[in-house]
Amino acid sequence: MRGVWRRSFILVAAALMLAACDPPPDATPQGAAVVEPPPQAEPMPDAVAATVQRLRQIADNGGYRDLASLAEQAPDFRSNAAGLDHAEYWNLKMRTGDFPMVHIEKLLSYPFTVEESSQGRIYIWPWMAMLKPGEINGAAARDIDRLLGPGQVEEGAPLFEQERSFQVRSRPGILA
């Protein structure tokens, strides 16, 4: 009989211990900031994903000629505003120590955004390239600083005084 009571006591104690492990109904810590998760990016179409994969291959073990060859397949793509062809421009960048393949890898490490255009959907890197000044939050400012260097987004900086956005004249994108 003593063994039955001991087993019963152990079972009840174990049940109470397990019940004590349950979190309270509202497990949100007091004073915790409520942060909305970023919107989930839709999956890329196969053709866009294949182009991104090819760009990553070039970034990993290709050269400026490989990059130029890929760019020539997209007649509307502009690598520069100087009137040089792609290979000449990227060769010049390489000779001055500004390696295009490093930039490709860096840009593709950021999430993309999608913009509708008259030609179709354009998948644009980096996601913050489309933000206007009022839309730049803490996460976007950190990504911009990581991409362009510290201090690129500060209150009162010319970026905001002139009511310009972070947008650049040309944004790396892939037409779907």
Per residue in 2-27, pLDDT (tens digit) is 655 555 556 555 555 555 555 556 65
Average pLDDT over residues 51-76: 91
Mean pLDDT of the chain: 74
CB 162 within 8 Å of CB 128: no
Does residue 44 register a pLDDT over 50?
Answer: yes
Q: What is the pLDDT of residue 50?
A: 93
Q: What is the mean pLDDT of residues 96-111?
A: 89
State how far the Cα of 28 lies from the Cα of 34, in Å rounded to an integer.
Answer: 9
Is the pLDDT higher at 15 or at 71?
Answer: 71
CA 130 to chain centre: 12
Looking at the predicted structure, is the pLDDT value of residue 35 above 70? Answer: no
Question: pLDDT value at position 168?
Answer: 40
165/131 Cα distance (integer angstroms): 6
CA distances from 165 to 87, 145, 170 (A): 30, 14, 13
Residue type, 134: G
Residue 41 vs residue 94, higher pLDDT: 94
Can you give the pTM of this predicted structure?
A: 0.64
| Per-residue confidence band for 155, with pLDDT thresholds at 50, 70 and 90 | very low
Question: What pLDDT, on a 0 to 100 scale, did the predictor assign at position 14?
Answer: 52
Angle between helix 100-108 and 86-95 (nearest 10): 100
**What is the pLDDT at residue 162?**
35
| pLDDT band of 157, cuts 50, 70, 90 | very low
DSSP structural state of residue 149: -
Instruction: Give the per-residue pLDDT at 118.
Output: 86
